[in-house]
């Protein structure tokens, strides 16, 4: 090919008319113009605005929004550390009536064992001076995978850590460690749940009690959580406040410590969880409970509510005691005695204020305290003990009298509470504010 063949063709110069012919005409306006409107008619002089029309439109818009707005779990990741088992799907709050400090997802193994996770080595009740590996089970119940998941855990002094006291220096949260998960699958995949070991062990100082609370949180960019660590408000938080008292141990020191943390005006209640001990202990122990110095595994057995001696059956548990300080006096009321007194009055079993099944007044938040306030100080002596002693001492003595067990050894407590031989008794101490709101709780399992 010569140079002339490689040279681009030359186009002729076009005149204005020729140029216009090749370009064609400009496109016509495809939209057009709004035609002129006729003048609006004069307003009706008799028109009166409808004051309810706006409310009706807002109601219609709200109904449409409820019908068409998807659930968060169907669009985003939905992270969870369970507060209880079985049946926790992340709804908060759960109290009342479900306790929120018995998470089955916070697991411990003695750090002397360095192998892979082994549920046969789980530790239910840690001991001061020991070191433990911390595992946290986390869930994603959403339909979108969770990317960049961060898991953390803290230790808090034994007590009633919760709403209202999270900034108290006594309940300072001591960070244990954390771990990252690149991705947690959505709920349609078995990988939606993961057991994560923290990057640091939990070292319990020999000077501590060993009854400390464990708290864990989970977060990711698409389902972010930044605190506070309040388990009854956030599904991203799990809390484990639990101690096992064996047959040869005394529960008195721990119960005295817990009762000593009750502020004046607040109310401490004791209930028995009955069969709820089984799923809790199975999750935390791997199926058998090591008891005694030789750590011999025992089967997990719990009494039915009707087998528990004393107290008042309130539906999901048995109510045993109520205590508080008022005007320089300490009141420790037995639930069975209180039930006999109020059962002869108009304050007996009633329905919930609005809707739902019948609710025992003892099962309502602050229910026994309200009933005692209604009876008045002059009748407190009819249902329990009124003393000038601090609540911590009066509470222990009241429990000793209830169970006829001096110094509260585990074997005698279990025998007094009833149920089958060798049963584990789940005792729950609950702290509520003067307004009847939950502050926190602690659970003690007494093994017979």
Mean pLDDT, consecutive 10-residue stretches, the chain (448 aa), reads: 54 69 53 67 80 80 67 87 93 90 97 95 92 98 95 97 92 96 94 97 91 96 94 96 93 95 96 96 87 74 95 94 94 95 57 55 90 93 94 95 92 94 95 94 94
Place of tokens 């609950």: 430
Is residue 183 classed exposed, middle or buried when 0-12, 13-18 and 19+ CB atoms within 10 A define those classes? middle
Give residue 40's pLDDT: 77
Collapse the DSSP code of 145 into the 3-class scheme (helix H, G, I; strand E, B; otherwise coil) and give the result: coil
Whole-number pLDDT of residue 396: 96
Quick one: DSSP state of residue 26?
A: P
Q: Which of 262, 259, 359 is nearest to 319 (CA)?
A: 359
Q: What is the pLDDT of residue 50?
A: 83
| 3-state percent helix, strand, coil for the chain, nearest multiple of 5 | 25, 30, 45
* 123 CA to centre of own chain: 22
H or E stretch covering 54: helix 53-68
Give the C-alpha separation, 322 to 428, whole Å: 12
* Residue 348, token pair as written in the block: 């007996």
Pairing of strands 312-313, 296-299: unpaired
Burial per residue of 7-28, b for 16 or more beta-carbon CB atoms within 10 angstroms, e otherwise: eeeeeeeeeeeeeeeeeeeeee
- How far is CA 8 from its chain centroid? 79
Question: For position 357, what pLDDT does the model report?
Answer: 57
Would you state the pLDDT for residue 8?
Answer: 53
Sequence-ordered list of residues with C-beta below 8 angstroms from that of 270, at least 6 positions apart, any chain: 319, 320, 321, 322, 399, 427, 428, 429, 430
Tokens 């892979």: give the residue: 116
CA nearest to 256, candidates 159, 127, 332: 159
> β-strands 329-334, 296-299: how paired?
unpaired
pTM across the whole model? 0.81
Half-sphere exposure of 232 (CA within 13 A, CB side): 20
Residue 353 token pair: 């204020």
In order of 179, 319, 360, 430, the CA distances from 97 in angstroms are: 33, 12, 11, 11
Structure tokens at 320: 């045993």
**pLDDT of res. 210:** 84
CA angle at 298 for the pair 424 and 314, rounded to the nearest 5°: 15
- pLDDT number for residue 68: 61
Tokens of 285: 């122990």
The Cα diameter of the chain in Å comes to: 123
Sign of the torsion angle spanned by Cα atoms 153, 156, 162, 166: negative
Q: Strand, coil or helix: what is 370? A: helix
């Amino acid at each position: 090919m010569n140079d002339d063949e490689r040279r681009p063709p030359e186009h002729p110069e076009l005149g204005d008319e020729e140029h216009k012919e090749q370009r064609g005409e400009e496109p016509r306006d495809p939209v057009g113009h709004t035609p002129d409107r006729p003048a609006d008619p004069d307003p009706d002089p008799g028109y009166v605005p409808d004051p309810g029309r706006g409310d009706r439109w807002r109601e219609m818009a709200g109904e449409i929004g409820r019908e068409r707005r998807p659930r968060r779990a169907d669009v985003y990741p939905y992270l969870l550390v369970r507060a209880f088992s079985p049946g926790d799907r992340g709804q908060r709050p759960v109290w009342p009536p479900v306790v929120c400090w018995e998470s089955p997802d916070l697991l411990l193994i003695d750090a002397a064992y360095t192998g892979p996770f082994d549920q046969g080595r789980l530790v239910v009740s840690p001991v001061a001076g020991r070191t433990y590996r911390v595992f946290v089970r986390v869930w994603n119940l959403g339909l979108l995978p969770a990317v960049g998941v961060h898991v953390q855990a803290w230790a808090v002094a034994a007590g009633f850590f919760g709403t209202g006291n999270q900034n108290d220096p006594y309940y300072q949260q001591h960070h244990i460690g954390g771990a990252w998960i690149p991705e947690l699958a959505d709920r349609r995949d078995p990988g939606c749940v993961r057991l994560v070991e923290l990057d640091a062990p939990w070292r319990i100082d020999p000077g501590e009690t060993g009854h400390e609370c464990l708290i864990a949180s989970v977060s990711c960019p698409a389902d972010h959580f930044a605190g506070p660590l309040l388990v009854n408000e956030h599904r991203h938080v799990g809390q484990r406040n639990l101690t096992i008292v064996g047959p040869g141990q005394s529960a008195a020191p721990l119960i005295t410590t817990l009762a000593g943390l009750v502020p004046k005006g607040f109310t401490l209640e004791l209930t028995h969880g009955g069969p709820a001990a089984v799923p809790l202990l199975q999750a935390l122990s791997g199926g058998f409970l090591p008891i005694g110095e030789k750590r011999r595994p025992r089967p997990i057995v719990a009494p039915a509510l009707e087998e528990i001696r004393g107290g008042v059956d309130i539906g999901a548990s048995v109510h045993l005691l109520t205590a508080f300080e008022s005007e320089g006096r300490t009141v420790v009321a037995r639930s069975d005695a209180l039930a006999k007194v109020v059962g002869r009055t108009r304050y007996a079993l009633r329905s919930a204020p609005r809707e739902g099944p019948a609710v025992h007044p003892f099962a309502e938040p602050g229910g026994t305290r309200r009933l005692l306030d209604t009876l008045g100080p002059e009748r407190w002596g009819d249902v329990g003990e009124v003393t000038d002693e601090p609540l911590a001492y009066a509470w222990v003595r009241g429990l000793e009298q209830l169970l006829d067990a001096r110094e509260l050894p585990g074997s005698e407590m279990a025998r007094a509470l009833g149920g089958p031989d060798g049963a584990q008794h789940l005792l729950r101490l609950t702290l509520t504010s003067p307004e009847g709101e939950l502050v926190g709780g602690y659970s003690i399992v007494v093994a017979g």
